[in-house]
Amino acid sequence: MSNLIPHSHAARMARRADKQRKILAFLRTEIWTVPEIIGLVAGVRDPRTIESTLKSMVRDDLLVTEECTLQSGRRIALFGISMDGQAHVAHLLDKPLIDKSYERGRAGLSLVDHRCDCQMLRIRLALAGWTGWMYPDRVSVAQKSKAGMHRADAITTTPGGVVAALEVERSVKNGRRYRSIFAHHLSAISRGEYARVIYASPSIVTSRAVNGLFTSIDQVIVGGRETTVTAEMLSHFQFLTYAELTEGAAK
């Protein structure tokens, strides 16, 4: 019986270390998230287990946390990686240290839900065999200052090897805005940056509305020239719900 106790303790410590490694590896580039996303990352469903893990990581100075109120009035807890956490995960993964950590009060609260949806899709698509997730908006200040530049929410590669731009569309924009975005995507496709654009929405209502606005566009300006939209151009675009996308509806 005495041999079972140390073995059980060692197993618990190994599971704890594995959960912490997964969380830190995710936050190494994501920087911050919410407990629900942490549960997906660590493969844990029990909120009490997630809370206990996060508290221990804050206590060990691997993470920092703060309570925030969103514009909707909803209260949330944000958890972000500290520089100690960055150093720890760089050592664990044998990768260069990333000189970026979470700073309290610096998260864009109006974008929390959008950011978390991107993170959720990143995790679920990775489990489905998608690879190479990258955020195009994380570019230099000089690149960000270029007028009129549109960047997709993410660039990723399908299990079939197709490089796709992913737009996480929680709400519907107006047709004029989509016409401009459409032109930017067509230019990027012609440059070979990606081959497909996937608009992912939380509901079928939003997805159908975005689809309808795109397919109603008849003229776009590409390379300074007005161009008639063709069926071939539209064939590069897909409009899916989150569920459809993560369940394999993307071609």
The DSSP bridge partners found for residue 240 are 200
Q: Which of 107, 131, 163 is the last residue of a domain?
A: 107
pLDDT of residue 147: 43
Q: From CA 26, how far away is CA 62, in angstroms rounded? A: 13
124 and 233 in a single domain? The answer is yes
Do 114 and 129 touch, CB atoms closer than 8 A? Answer: no
Do 102 and 115 touch, CB atoms closer than 8 A? Answer: no
> What CATH code is carried by the domain that includes residue 26?
1.10.10.10
At 206, which amino acid appears?
T
Q: Which of 73, 107, 141 is the last residue of a domain?
A: 107
96: which DSSP letter?
P
pLDDT of residue 249: 72
- Which residue, 74, 69, 72, 66, is CA-closest to 33? 66
Length of the chain as a residue count: 251
pLDDT of residue 8: 85
Domain range enclosing 222 = 119-246
pLDDT in tens, the chain (251 residues): 445 555 687 888 888 899 999 999 999 999 999 999 999 999 999 999 999 999 999 999 999 999 998 877 889 999 999 999 999 999 999 999 999 999 998 888 888 999 999 999 999 999 999 999 999 976 544 444 444 578 999 999 999 999 999 999 999 999 999 999 999 999 999 999 999 999 999 999 999 999 999 999 999 988 788 989 999 999 999 999 999 999 987 76
Q: Which of 107, 127, 148 is the last residue of a domain?
A: 107
> What CATH code is carried by the domain that includes residue 196?
3.40.1350
141 and 29 in a single domain? The answer is no
Q: Which two tokens stand for residue 229?
A: 């939209």
In a domain, 178, yes or no: yes
77 and 161 in a single domain? The answer is no
In a domain, 234, yes or no: yes
pLDDT of residue 71: 76
125 and 242 in a single domain? The answer is yes
pLDDT of residue 35: 96
